[in-house]
């Protein structure tokens, strides 16, 4: 009788453990499903940026390896974005090894105005400024605010995101990881 009770308790314990393990696995799968794409895939995403000439499309898979990259989603008329860009321009000597790719939903005239205001043509590490024509950035990163900055390392792997603002020091440190 004792053996039967012991065997029953053992079987019940094993079934309970299996049920708990299955539930934990389902919970983990739900957690993974709720992650944003950049959290699931740490590689730099491929998407299109229509350049200011409105005819040339830059595809982000052409971003070369070997130097860290910053993808900045901005609003050309956004005061916070202007402040962020002003700060980055002032600290560009510290950020000269960081390659900049700026994208927005703004219209070409507003994008050009932003580009001209900060004289971005003077910075060889500002590689592309243009429009995210496929509205990719916000869905991939879950960006709710601008400016939104995503830093990738020299191997095109995600390092850090900044929503709203990042100091030159923070960007410099993230680009060194």
Name the helix (H) or strand (E) containing 3. helix 2-33
**3 state DSSP class of 50:** strand
The pLDDT of residue 5: 55
Name the helix (H) or strand (E) containing 152. strand 148-152
For the chain, the domains span 2-34, 41-175
Q: Given its phi and psi angles, is residue 54 left (phi above 0), alpha (psi -120 to 50 degrees) or beta?
A: left
Give residue for tokens 């001209």: 116
The pLDDT of residue 151: 98
Q: Which pairing describes strands 126-131 and 99-104: parallel, antiparallel, or unpaired? A: parallel
* CATH homologous superfamily of 41-175: Glutaredoxin (3.40.30.10)
Mean pLDDT, consecutive 10-residue segments, the chain of 177 residues? 56 54 48 76 92 94 96 97 98 97 95 98 97 94 94 97 96 94
Structure tokens of 55?
A: 């005819």
């Amino acid at each position: 009788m004792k053996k039967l009770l012991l065997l029953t308790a053992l079987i019940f314990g094993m079934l309970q453990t299996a049920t708990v393990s299955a539930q934990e696995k389902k919970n983990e799968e739900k957690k993974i499903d709720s992650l944003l794409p950049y959290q699931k895939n740490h590689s730099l995403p491929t998407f299109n940026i229509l350049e200011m000439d409105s005819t040339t499309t830059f595809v982000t898979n052409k971003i070369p390896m070997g130097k860290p990259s910053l993808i900045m989603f901005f609003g050309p008329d956004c005061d916070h974005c202007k402040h962020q860009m002003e700060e980055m321009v002032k600290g560009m000597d510290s950020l000269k090894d960081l390659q900049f790719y700026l994208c927005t939903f703004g219209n070409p005239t507003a994008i050009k105005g932003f580009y001209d205001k900060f004289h971005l043509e003077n910075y060889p590490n500002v590689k592309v400024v243009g429009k995210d024509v496929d509205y990719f950035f916000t869905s991939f990163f879950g960006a709710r605010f601008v400016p939104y900055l995503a830093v990738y390392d020299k191997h095109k792997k995600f390092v850090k995101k900044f929503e709203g603002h990042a100091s030159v020091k923070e960007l410099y440190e993230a680009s060194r990881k």
